[in-house]
């Protein structure tokens, strides 16, 4: 019998769950949105009995039932040996407010509070939702969609579901400090102290993936020292993260613009950790670089 693969998709309203769910549907997953919590376990096990191979279920504050029950459902699924993953989509408040303003939609909790004769601002609804989903956030692979284009998110979801299931998924992600630290980062390293190719007119249009930039950065001893120190830190502590039953670890590398130094360091670290059976590369502020 083909092993059933299950993706549980959740996160903050406005963080891109519709985009992610469509990507999963395009990838051949049977997708169900807003399934009542009391049906989740039975639905998944029945789909296994029906010989389905891949299903995805979106669960959020719209789903009827108490979200506090979801960790228990996940624990029960683990006992069935069904292969499943939990993806938690998040975004900063500024991004969420902007998206709601563009879509002209109300927050789902605002409608629920209105039915109870209560009211709350959009920011208050977002914070209430964060509080309700905090336990689920700690159980899943977090993707911060702040500043991401839909195409980037689709690519990141595609890369994630294509990775084979192993004890820990290690992700190296470059970002720009001027845009803020990603909410999905577990470890953050600042490489803004390194020499900056931006000030060389011939290198400025390129990225850290281009060989001229790589060669330029390699010529500085401090760059090699920084990369080696980050590598040593991760190698020292990675086993501890694994022992903590963690399934995902995201290492974010930041520079000023997220174009040269952070991209180069991420690419170099990925090569040094190529023995990892589950490894993803992400470049947050380089839309053309998705993996």
The pLDDT score that the predictor gives to residue 139 is 85
Residues 36 and 60 both lie in one domain: yes
290 part of a folded domain: no
The pLDDT score that the predictor gives to residue 194 is 98
Q: Quick one: tokens of 33?
A: 């949105």
Residues 10 and 61 both lie in one domain: yes
77 part of a folded domain: yes
Residues 154 and 175 both lie in one domain: no
Sign of the torsion angle spanned by Cα atoms 235, 238, 243, 248:
negative
Q: Contact 112/79 with Cβ under 8 angstroms?
A: no
* Separation of alpha carbons 29 and 20, rounded Å: 11
The pLDDT score that the predictor gives to residue 166 is 56
Q: Contact 29/40 with Cβ under 8 angstroms?
A: no
What's this model's pTM, rounded to 2 decimal places? 0.73
Residues 157 and 179 both lie in one domain: no
268 part of a folded domain: yes
Residues 21 and 71 both lie in one domain: yes
* Separation of alpha carbons 11 and 214, rounded Å: 37
Q: Quick one: tokens of 57?
A: 């279920």
84 part of a folded domain: yes
Residues 133 and 184 both lie in one domain: no
The one-digit pLDDT tens for each residue of the chain (291 residues) are 567 889 999 999 999 999 999 999 988 899 999 888 888 989 998 887 777 788 999 988 887 677 778 888 888 887 887 878 899 999 999 999 999 998 888 898 987 888 788 888 999 999 999 998 988 888 889 999 998 989 899 989 988 887 655 568 899 999 999 999 999 999 999 999 999 999 999 999 999 999 999 999 999 999 999 999 999 999 999 988 877 657 789 999 999 999 999 999 999 999 999 988 789 999 998 765 544
Provide the number of structural domains found in the chain: 2
104 part of a folded domain: yes
Read off the DSSP letter of residue 150.
H
Residues 71 and 15 both lie in one domain: yes
131 part of a folded domain: yes
66 part of a folded domain: yes
Residues 46 and 129 both lie in one domain: yes
Last residue of a domain, one of 162, 181, 215: 162
Last residue of a domain, one of 141, 162, 183: 162
Residues 135 and 218 both lie in one domain: no
Q: Contact 251/187 with Cβ under 8 angstroms?
A: yes
- DSSP codes, 253-289: EEESSSSSHHHHHHHHHHHHTTT-SSEEEEETT-TT-
Residues 53 and 85 both lie in one domain: yes
Q: What is the CATH number of the domain that holds 109?
A: 3.40.50.300
288 part of a folded domain: no
Last residue of a domain, one of 162, 186, 209: 162
Q: Contact 173/289 with Cβ under 8 angstroms?
A: no
* Separation of alpha carbons 102 and 241, rounded Å: 40
Residues 239 and 183 both lie in one domain: yes
Residues 9 and 142 both lie in one domain: yes
User: Residue 64: which domain range?
Assistant: 5-162
């Amino acid at each position: 019998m083909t092993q059933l693969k299950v993706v549980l998709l959740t996160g903050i309203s406005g963080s891109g769950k519709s985009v992610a769910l469509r990507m999963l549907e395009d990838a051949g997953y049977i997708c169900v949105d807003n399934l009542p919590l009391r049906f989740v376990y039975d639905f998944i096990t029945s789909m296994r009995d029906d010989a389905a191979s891949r299903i995805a279920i979106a669960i959020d504050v719209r789903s009827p039932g108490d979200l506090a029950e979801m960790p228990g459902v996940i624990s029960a699924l683990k006992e069935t040996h069904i292969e499943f993953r939990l993806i938690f989509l998040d975004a900063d408040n500024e991004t969420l407010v902007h998206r709601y303003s563009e879509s002209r939609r109300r927050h789902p909790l605002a409608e629920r509070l209105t039915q109870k004769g209560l009211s709350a601002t959009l920011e208050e609804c977002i914070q209430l939702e964060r509080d309700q989903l905090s336990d689920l956030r700690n159980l899943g692979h977090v993707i911060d969609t702040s500043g991401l284009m839909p195409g980037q998110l689709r690519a990141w979801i595609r890369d994630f579901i294509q990775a084979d299931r192993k004890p820990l998924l290690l992700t190296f992600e470059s970002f720009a400090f001027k845009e803020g630290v990603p909410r999905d980062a577990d470890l953050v390293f600042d490489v803004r102290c390194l020499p900056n190719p931006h000030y060389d007119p011939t290198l400025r249009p390129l990225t850290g993936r281009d060989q001229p930039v790589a060669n330029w950065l390699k010529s500085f001893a401090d760059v090699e020292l920084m990369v080696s120190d980050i590598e040593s830190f991760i190698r020292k502590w990675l086993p501890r993260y694994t022992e903590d039953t963690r399934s995902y670890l995201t290492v974010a590398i930041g520079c000023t613009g997220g174009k040269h130094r952070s991209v180069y360091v991420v690419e170099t670290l990925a090569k040094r950790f190529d023995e990892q059976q589950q490894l993803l590369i992400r470049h947050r502020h380089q839309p053309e670089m998705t993996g």
